[in-house]
Structure 1
Amino acid sequence: MNKAQAWLQGRWTVPLISGLLILASLAAGQLLDAAVWVDALMVAAAVVAGTPVVIKAWNALTAKVIGIDLLVSVAAIGAVIIGEYWEAAAVTFLFAIGHALEDATLNKTRSALAELVAVAPDVAIVLRDGEQVEVAAHEVVQGETVLVKNGSKVPVDGLVIGGTGALDEASITGESIPVEKMTGDQVFAGTISTGGFLQVEATGVGADTTLARIIHRVEEAQDAKAKTQKFMDRFSAWYTPAIIVLAILVGLFTQDVVLALTLLVIACPGALVISIPVSIVAGIGRGAKDGILIKGGEFLETSAKIDAVALDKTGTLTQGRPQLTDVVALYPDLGPDHPVMDEDEVLRMAARAEAGSEHPLARPIVEAAQDRLPGFVAGLPEHTEPVPGKGIVASLDGHRIAVGNLALLQAEQLAGSRDHGRVAEVVADLAAKGRTPMVVACDGRPVGVVAVADTIREDAAEMVRRLHASGVKKVVMLTGDIEPVARAVGRQVGIDEVRAGLLPEDKLEAVADLRRQGYTVAMVGDGVNDAPALATADIGVAMGAAGTGVAIETADIALMKDNLLKLPEAVSLARRTVNNMRQNIVIALATVAVLMFGVLFGGVTMAIGMLVHEASVLVVIVNAMRLLRRKDDPAARRTRGPGTPVPATEETRVTQPA
């Protein structure tokens, strides 16, 4: 397509030609005093600007849709028939300008999607037969080694197998600070190298990359309709025919054709029709820029009503990586005839026993022993016997070592009443501090207690505070952990209610119970173990979804970065977007009402009516575009700093399944 063809098909071509014809008509009237030329040029201006409108109106009619274009077409054609050439030209010209501006600004609200498409890489440098070969990004084969040099885009999803560097991942996570990458780290297509040199093994190419899935998701989301938008579509389907009937009745009653045609023009519900979709597109676009993927307008609208948030503990409020926190020696010195049972020996004994365990809590004990004890080797015990729900029993150098909870002591009858009382006291104290205690016993006698804890995220307390500040009434923790540990975490984070000892089906019931109480519930989880609860909630939120295709496709909201503060940001964005939609609806309805009054009682002309109508469309669009600006969370401005613990309140409640 050459430049001339591109210009003829541009959005501003029709209004420009029509405007020039109107100016020529006005000039002819002043300079030539030729009424024929004045009228001919005005009609030509109306034909140029009105032909696309008539074509759209006819196409809509053939599809049994009566829309705004039909109202403008009838009014313009009627004005020409009765000799109101200026009115016909002015109405079609203003409508053409309004359509061009609407198209331009709507494209602006879709800027997030355009930016995502722009960062999609075109080429890749791969190693083939030991040589660097430049190929199209979609031609990279899974498993190939891709080279990422300073300043270039990463063309694939993959794992770093060599080199170090830093990547700007803003296009994926919304995080502007470059992330350091080294061997074993994951990288995403569309991110940009800000330094270093990386060798990447391709694991996702073409449409299988995270960036491609995000683009697809945002495309679908911006086109998906909210409940309010669906209602407005139904309203418009009845409103437009009703206006045509009203105009006919007014014309018959008043015998004033100009008044009837003017009524058609000013009653166009253009601003009303566009009021909701433009806000939704802008809101979803803003979220995409910030690493918040919202599935569509319906979910955006529902998210604005969230007043209860349910959170999993492990991996959401906590890091999901337990660490050894305490080693308590019950009897560090039993005398010269007994071996030393200090903290190092207790840890050594527990680590050697746990070396044969597959339990998640075994790893932090073994790793701590390797770090703290010189020369420690985690060799497998002679015999290992897991005790489900209680712990593990192992044979080591002729000794019977047990590591587990108090129930294991009772089952094994390892301790007398005096020992059991002391152990129970230590266990209770550690559990009250939010740690998971495990008793270590040797040959029938407890010798110590080790405890592990999952580190609470630095921003967990701040997230809860911001959720409350944004209007969320209740934040609930749903966890399978024991009550004392869950209560301690809830107290540190500022959770309103803790439900402990839950199985997956219990979490589902907890979410259902909150909904029965009248709450609009958002459930935050990993999308796997919490899947039933996520599906039951009004809004399911997946954390840290970058690179997780299933989470991106299935969650109602996917937070691309593993950042808890993105959750209150998503709620705040949803509420801002819905408020924006309501503002636009009020603007649109008020404009139509004022114009209707002006036509019937104030002498508003067809041209003035169309001018005000198009102005209202632009006001609605500009108002929606405010959503594209990054807005600081008002709650964040009152923060005491990320990660600052929030004191627990006495209202924090802990419940367990019956």
Structure 2
Amino acid sequence: MKIFEKILGRPGCSSDDCLSGSCCNHHESEPSNHNTCDSACGCTHEFDSQTIRPLLIRTFIAGICVCFAILSEVGFIAIWEIGTAAAIIALLLTAYPILKEAVTGLLGGERNVCELASIAIVAAVAIGEFTAAAEVAIILTIGELAEDYAYSRSKRDIEGIVTRNPRFGHIIKSGEVVEVPVHEIAIGDVVMVRSGDIVPVDGVVTEGTSFLDESCLTGESLPVAKEKESLVYSGSTNLDGTLIIKTTKVAGDSTYSRIAELIRQAGQRRPPSHPFIDRFARVYSPLMIILAIIVFVLTGSIIRAITVLIVACPCALLLATPSAVLATLGSAAKSGILIKGGEFLEVCRNVTVLVLDKTGTITSGNMAVSEVIACGSYSRDDVLLFAATAECSSSHPIAKAVVSTAIDNGLSIACTGYAQQVAGLGIEDIQQDHKILVGNRRFMESKGIDTSLILSKARDDMSGTSEILVVCDTFLIGILYVSDTIRPESSAVFAKIRQLGINKIEMLTGDNQVVAEQIGQQCGIEPGSVHSGMYPGDKEAYVSKLQKRGEVVCFVGDGTNDGPALARSDLGISIGSREDTIALETSSVILMQRGLSALPEFIQLGRRTSSIIIMNICIALGLNLLLIIAAGYGLISPAVGAIGHQVATIVVLLNSTRLAYNPGIKLDNPDVRAKIRNNPNPGVSV
């Protein structure tokens, strides 16, 4: 297997090498010691870069020999011995790998489908049918080449993503541009990204303007304008002018590297139906051997028995699931949907209830402080500074809003390093020898703070906003009101979800009930399905409660405080982005940048993948059954049976490639051309 991947410009690196990160040509690592790769049929053939050319030459010579053998058998060549010699030469050239893997598997206590083909070839030779045996061997070899080509197409999207990062970058030192390996670029280095280059590391633009294709990260088809102070991400393609960026992350920690690693791991994971296929193969091979013996006993024809063994090879069945999953993983990644394994695709068709976190999921997470109330002798700026200092190390949207407001008000923030966050409730900090508490009422009550004063200070006209209390030691010094906006696509997304047959939609939040119900009402969630005042642990417990009632739960969150619920759910989906990659670590599926709008697309994709897998299995089993019946009745010869076996395999692979369709970015789009043409790029100086 993997022959065509080496023929098509990847010498020394098989697709499995790329997926495992062990390839010496595309990854900065030591040369790989893996010179074998797994065949789709379960056999392992030694097709490394050193054996490709000899193998192709052997196959070509074997093909010529088989032609001579056939011509001799039908009488076009008068000398019969020439045909026999040619068939034997063809067998020596092509049958060896098949026989070797069958023996290796048996000695290792593992069964694979090479056993059936090997028995058929040996039996044909034993009865003197050298030409038939040679036909089977050459057809299986050629069919495997075609099979590998079709199978590798499914992997190509994943490989393209994994290997997209450049090996070198251009840094500026002492006014000179120096090319260095990407892994040597350090934080703070100044990097030049020329037109047409792929951005090697994450950074911030210090000079220049351009348009970048970020479709590999977000699935967005149109280029994104970049100018001074803009963030740029590794893996993006610079479409226009030259940019000078200052590195903010080393290559291994960059956004694209982390995404590529997730995709690589997903490509290596075995789909859940594989253990069943393994067990099936262990039983299937002995059954087919018994069937072949029965055919021989009933018909007295060894040729029919041999043909049964050939057509019974279940290569198509073995490829039914992995080919579909690989095609989907690559296609989804190009659309900005990162899936950590094929098992999560199969869950989609069984989901009965959709549970969502509120902040950053249903709402945009772009929060703002709408009101600051100061208490006692403290000013609004005092309250903001205390709160922002405590919140400066938190990634929660509310914390970001508080810090942003403090900066906008000209306040200087210096993190103390003492802040301790209680997920979903608040933060405790030490500032100027005072204990500062910032959080909601439940947080204050858990710390023994008397909240009776809060009732007299809180405003009744701030419905629809979140209330954040600021306490110094044991005294309330202020109240912040933080507002959020619903994602504009929320209502439409939930309508599509219901059209897919998922009618139970529930929202969980740590916010108060009034705010939660208002949000739920605006996006079409009934009050009875809105649950407020929930800790991260409460969310997990609620998901567990649903599961005990027999529900299959899909939980969607932003990855910030939703880790326990995401892990507990049957299908955990995070709303991710290029800026915030916490979601990459805490969920099974990540919707990059497009937010909720990609959720129905993912569920549809998962269901379509399951349908294709079922269709593949039906095609494989159906064609195998028809070929076995035809072989048993003597309607097909061993050579025709070998062709039929390969046709069944290729039909399954081609059916799976339907999942890989993704038009991607079209650089000939007139809107793209207009944007690039009108880009006032002043250039850069070195």
* TM-score, L = length of structure 2: 0.74
Q: Distance in 2 between matches of 1:539 and 1:107?
A: 28
Partner residue in 2 for 1:552: 584
Shift of 1:589: 0.9
Q: Which amino acid aligns with 1:22?
A: V
Shift of 1:202: 2.0
Q: Distance in 2 between matches of 1:363 and 1:262?
A: 69
Q: Secondary structure of the equivalent of 1:604?
A: coil
1:474 maps to 2:504? yes
Partner residue in 2 for 1:137: 182
1:411 maps to 2:443? no
Shift of 1:612: 1.5
Partner residue in 2 for 1:644: none
Q: Secondary structure of the equivalent of 2:365?
A: strand
1:55 maps to 2:84? no
Instruction: Go from structure 1 to structure 2 and tell me whether the alpha carbon gap of 1:388 and 1:536 turns closer, same or farther (over 3 Å shift).
Output: closer
Q: Which amino acid aligns with 1:612?
A: G
Shift of 1:105: 1.0
Instruction: Go from structure 1 to structure 2 and tell me whether the alpha carbon gap of 1:20 and 1:8 turns closer, same or farther (over 3 Å shift).
Output: farther
Q: Are the aligned partners of 2:162 and 2:263 in contact in 1 as well (CA < 8 Å)?
A: no
Q: Distance in 1 between matches of 2:436 and 2:304?
A: 93
1:541 maps to 2:573? yes
Q: Distance in 2 between matches of 1:386 and 1:217?
A: 38
Shift of 1:101: 0.9
Q: Distance in 1 between matches of 2:188 and 2:568?
A: 38
Q: Which amino acid aligns with 2:524?
A: G
Q: Secondary structure of the equivalent of 1:243?
A: helix
Partner residue in 2 for 1:611: 643
Q: Which amino acid aligns with 1:601?
A: Y
For 1:250-329, list aligned pairs within 5 A: 250-252=295-297, 254-323=299-368
Partner residue in 2 for 1:160: 205
Q: Are the aligned partners of 2:197 and 2:238 in contact in 1 as well (CA < 8 Å)?
A: yes
Q: Secondary structure of the equivalent of 1:70?
A: helix
Q: Secondary structure of the equivalent of 1:501?
A: coil
Provide, for residues 467-519 of structure 1, a one-character-per-residue CA deviation record: whole Å limited to 9, x for no partner.
22333232221111111211111111123521112122211112112212222
Q: Are the aligned partners of 1:159 and 1:200 in contact in 2 as well (CA < 8 Å)?
A: yes
RMSD: 3.7
Q: Distance in 2 between matches of 1:612 and 1:598?
A: 11
Q: Which amino acid aligns with 2:498?
A: H
Q: Distance in 1 between matches of 2:123 and 2:412?
A: 94
Q: Are the aligned partners of 2:69 and 2:86 in contact in 1 as well (CA < 8 Å)?
A: yes
Partner residue in 1 for 2:516: 486
1:20 maps to 2:44? no
Partner residue in 2 for 1:237: 282
Q: Which amino acid aligns with 1:358?
A: A
Q: Are the aligned partners of 2:563 and 2:587 in contact in 1 as well (CA < 8 Å)?
A: no
Q: Which amino acid aligns with 1:627?
A: L
Relative to structure 2, which stretch is displaced further, 55-64 or 549-558? 549-558
Q: Are the aligned partners of 1:476 and 1:498 in contact in 2 as well (CA < 8 Å)?
A: yes
1:358 maps to 2:387? yes
Q: Distance in 1 between matches of 2:622 and 2:272?
A: 22
Instruction: Go from structure 1 to structure 2 and tell me whether the alpha carbon gap of 1:312 and 1:23 turns closer, same or farther (over 3 Å shift).
Output: same
Q: Distance in 2 between matches of 1:453 and 1:509?
A: 28
Partner residue in 2 for 1:579: 611
Q: Are the aligned partners of 2:385 and 2:411 in contact in 1 as well (CA < 8 Å)?
A: no
Shift of 1:13: 4.5
Q: Distance in 1 between matches of 2:111 and 2:296?
A: 20
Q: Which amino acid aligns with 1:59?
A: T
Q: Which amino acid aligns with 2:69?
A: S
Aligned counterpart in structure 2 of residue 566 of structure 1, from 581, 585, 598:
598
Instruction: Go from structure 1 to structure 2 and tell me whether the alpha carbon gap of 1:510 and 1:362 turns closer, same or farther (over 3 Å shift).
Output: closer
Q: Distance in 1 between matches of 2:438 and 2:126?
A: 93
Q: Are the aligned partners of 1:356 and 1:384 in contact in 2 as well (CA < 8 Å)?
A: no
Instruction: Go from structure 1 to structure 2 and tell me whether the alpha carbon gap of 1:238 and 1:378 turns closer, same or farther (over 3 Å shift).
Output: closer
Q: Which amino acid aligns with 2:66?
A: I
1:37 maps to 2:82? yes
Q: Distance in 1 between matches of 2:56 and 2:142?
A: 8
Shift of 1:32: 3.5
Q: Are the aligned partners of 1:221 and 1:295 in contact in 2 as well (CA < 8 Å)?
A: yes
Q: Distance in 2 between matches of 1:62 and 1:363?
A: 62
Shift of 1:184: 4.2
Q: Distance in 2 between matches of 1:379 and 1:279?
A: 54
Q: Are the aligned partners of 1:355 and 1:362 in contact in 2 as well (CA < 8 Å)?
A: no
Aligned counterpart in structure 2 of residue 181 of structure 1, from 226, 238, 262:
226
Q: Distance in 2 between matches of 1:550 and 1:362?
A: 15
Instruction: Go from structure 1 to structure 2 and tell me whether the alpha carbon gap of 1:379 and 1:106 turns closer, same or farther (over 3 Å shift).
Output: closer
Shift of 1:223: 2.3
Relative to structure 2, which stretch is displaced further, 253-262 or 143-152? 253-262
Aligned pairs, number: 570
Q: Which 5+ residue runs of structure 1 have no aligned equivalent?
A: 329-344, 392-406, 440-448, 633-658
Q: Which amino acid aligns with 2:387?
A: E
Shift of 1:191: 0.9
Instruction: Go from structure 1 to structure 2 and tell me whether the alpha carbon gap of 1:10 and 1:529 turns closer, same or farther (over 3 Å shift).
Output: farther
* TM-score, L = length of structure 1: 0.77
Shift of 1:616: 0.6
1:87 maps to 2:135? no
Q: Distance in 2 between matches of 1:208 and 1:450?
A: 35
Q: Are the aligned partners of 2:206 and 2:245 in contact in 1 as well (CA < 8 Å)?
A: yes
Q: Distance in 2 between matches of 1:541 and 1:547?
A: 17
Partner residue in 1 for 2:263: 218
Instruction: Go from structure 1 to structure 2 and tell me whether the alpha carbon gap of 1:389 and 1:150 turns closer, same or farther (over 3 Å shift).
Output: same
Q: Which 5+ residue runs of structure 2 have no aligned equivalent?
A: 1-5, 12-48, 392-397, 414-433, 443-449, 470-478, 665-686
Q: Are the aligned partners of 1:217 and 1:553 in contact in 2 as well (CA < 8 Å)?
A: no
Q: Distance in 2 between matches of 1:57 and 1:32?
A: 34
Q: Distance in 1 between matches of 2:227 and 2:215?
A: 18
Aligned counterpart in structure 2 of residue 205 of structure 1, from 250, 253, 258:
250
Provide, for residues 591-613 of structure 1, a one-character-per-residue CA deviation record: whole Å limited to 9, x for no partner.
12212222333533222222211
Partner residue in 1 for 2:679: none
For 1:321-470, list aligned pairs within 5 A: 321-323=366-368, 354-358=383-387, 389=440, 411=453, 424=460, 427=461, 431=463, 434-436=464-466, 452-470=482-500
Q: Secondary structure of the equivalent of 1:119?
A: coil
Q: Which amino acid aligns with 1:453?
A: S
Q: Are the aligned partners of 2:334 and 2:662 in contact in 1 as well (CA < 8 Å)?
A: no
Q: Are the aligned partners of 1:306 and 1:571 in contact in 2 as well (CA < 8 Å)?
A: no
Q: Are the aligned partners of 2:154 and 2:326 in contact in 1 as well (CA < 8 Å)?
A: yes
Q: Are the aligned partners of 1:226 and 1:301 in contact in 2 as well (CA < 8 Å)?
A: no
Partner residue in 2 for 1:515: 547
Shift of 1:266: 1.8
For 1:589-608, list aligned pairs within 5 A: 589-601=621-633, 603-608=635-640
Q: Secondary structure of the equivalent of 1:321?
A: coil
Shift of 1:324: 6.1
Q: Distance in 2 between matches of 1:592 and 1:369?
A: 70
Shift of 1:133: 1.6
Instruction: Go from structure 1 to structure 2 and tell me whether the alpha carbon gap of 1:368 and 1:606 turns closer, same or farther (over 3 Å shift).
Output: closer
Q: Are the aligned partners of 2:583 and 2:590 in contact in 1 as well (CA < 8 Å)?
A: yes
Relative to structure 2, which stretch is displaced further, 128-137 or 287-296? 128-137
Shift of 1:437: 7.6
Instruction: Go from structure 1 to structure 2 and tell me whether the alpha carbon gap of 1:319 and 1:32 turns closer, same or farther (over 3 Å shift).
Output: closer
Q: Secondary structure of the equivalent of 1:225?
A: coil
Relative to structure 2, which stretch is displaced further, 73-82 or 554-563? 554-563
